Amino acid sequence: MNDQGLEDKQAKQNVLVLIAAQAILGAQLPIIFVVGGLAGGQLAGNVCFATLPISLIVFGSMTTAPWLSRFMHAYGRQAGFFLGTFSGAVGAAISAYGLFISSFTVFLVGSYLSGIYMTTQGFYRFAATDTASEQFRPKAISYVMAGGLLSAVLGPQLNKIVQDLSVITFLGSYVTIVAINLVGIFLFFLLRLPKQSSNVATNANLKLERSKRDLLRNPKILVAITCGMIAYSLMNLVMTSTPLAVIGCGFTKDNANDIVSAHVVAMYLPAFFTGHLIVKFGVGRIMGLGLIILAGAGIVALNGFGLFNFFGALILLGIGWNFGFIGATNLLTSSHSPDERGRVQGMNDAIIFGCVTIASLASGGLMNCTGGSALVGWAAVNYAMVPFLLIAGIAVFWLGLMKSRET
């Protein structure tokens, strides 16, 4: 077996572990995104703040991504994954306690700590590339993202069983999330990754490292961050509002769980072939296709308010996010040196989740405070996608022009 084959043999073993982590530990995020806004609406005095718990999760992810990335670069991915998973358990336990004592403030504290887990899950995709060859890299990212397919089914369907087990609605959901973290944390003992970068920068190299401003001047890094940020933010904007819109339109909590489940399946099912499509057609075309599909999600959502429209819009939203976000991730990993890995990936996720925080805050405001009905709010959420899709489309087009001029 050649050197690349040996390298990818280890990478494939790590990918299997990360797929399992994405499937088992990742099941907590669909649960949180179903119940977070609904529980927040129960605890908050103002319905405009119903989605604030989800915003705190994403804000927690934004504020921890830079230092957690540096922590992983220094001490290894495994140490960071252990820390994040433990934080997920603690955050869910505190959120459960907030529900138990009917304290919105305590619930928000737990939500923030849950954001640390969300950060570590985001780094699964980067960990998949640490021991992968350049040819296997986009496929490794896709396969790990595909692990979310199982979490898409497990999370919402499990939540349908546990959400009403207690007289305190959704308390069972958060207790279940604690258990998921305590069980799933043992998976990371099976990873075989370098404890730190094999290309630790020397003092001379540190002087040559690009500043953040210089990194953002790189067209590939700039477009990767822009498209990843917009794809993730718009997905979060619409998904966060979905349970509120579904129930506001007269449907049930089980309907909301099923719609979110279908959405998360659509987020991860295409990942089985997204990497192959990137290799065959190029990353720019796949990102552009993702943006077009996201626009299609908005069109379906605005075309009616039946269950078919909710399912159709959320399925398209998931597929569009998959192409846009996996494409952006692949573009980013090919745009920096190994010594810059921790800084670039941390900066990327901090920017992305900073914008996702704003999107989740805006989601509740648009949904609950722009009109007198769920229909008006849901329409406002989907119309808000338009300017950002145009910005991302222009960025992808500009990168294509830059590449064509180089050739």
Dihedral (CA of 117, 122, 125, 127) sign: negative
Written as six digits, the tokens of 257 are 């769980």
How far are the Cα atoms of 271, 326, 374 from residue 88, in angstroms, in the given order?
25, 24, 32
Written as six digits, the tokens of 344 are 């670039």
pTM > 0.75 = no
Q: Would you write out the chain's pLDDT as a tens digit for each of its 407 residues?
A: 445 555 578 888 889 999 999 999 999 988 988 888 888 888 887 777 877 888 888 888 888 878 888 888 788 888 999 999 999 999 999 999 999 999 999 999 999 999 999 989 988 988 888 877 777 887 888 888 888 788 878 888 898 899 888 888 899 999 999 999 999 999 999 988 776 544 444 444 444 566 777 777 788 889 999 999 999 999 989 988 888 899 888 898 889 888 988 898 898 888 888 888 988 899 899 999 999 999 999 999 999 889 999 999 999 999 999 999 989 988 988 777 766 777 787 788 788 888 888 887 788 788 877 766 788 889 999 999 999 999 999 999 998 888 777 66
For 57-94, give one letter per residue: b (16+ CB within 10 A) or e: bbbbbbbbbbebbebbbeebbbbbbbbbbbbbbbbbbb
Neighbours of 109 (CB within 10 A): 17
The answer to whether 304 touches 256, Cβ cutoff 8 Å, is no
Task: Name the burial class of residue 334, with classes exposed (0-12), middle (13-18) and buried (19+) by CB atoms within 10 angstroms of its CB.
Answer: middle
Beta strands in 135-175 (DSSP E): none
Written as six digits, the tokens of 89 are 């358990």
What is the reported pLDDT for 195? 64
Written as six digits, the tokens of 352 are 């992305």
- With vertex at residue 247, the alpha carbon angle to CA 242 and CA 248, rounded to the nearest 5 degrees, is 90
CA dist 184 and 378 (Å) reads: 36
The answer to whether 395 touches 227, Cβ cutoff 8 Å, is yes
What is the reported pLDDT for 146? 80
- Dihedral in degrees, nearest 10, Cα atoms 78, 82, 83, 87: 150
DSSP for 95-141 reads HHHHHHTT-HHHHHHHHHHHHHHHHHHHTHHHHTTTT--TTTHHHHH
Domains and CATH numbers, the chain: 3-192+212-406 (1.20.1250.20)
What is the reported pLDDT for 201? 42
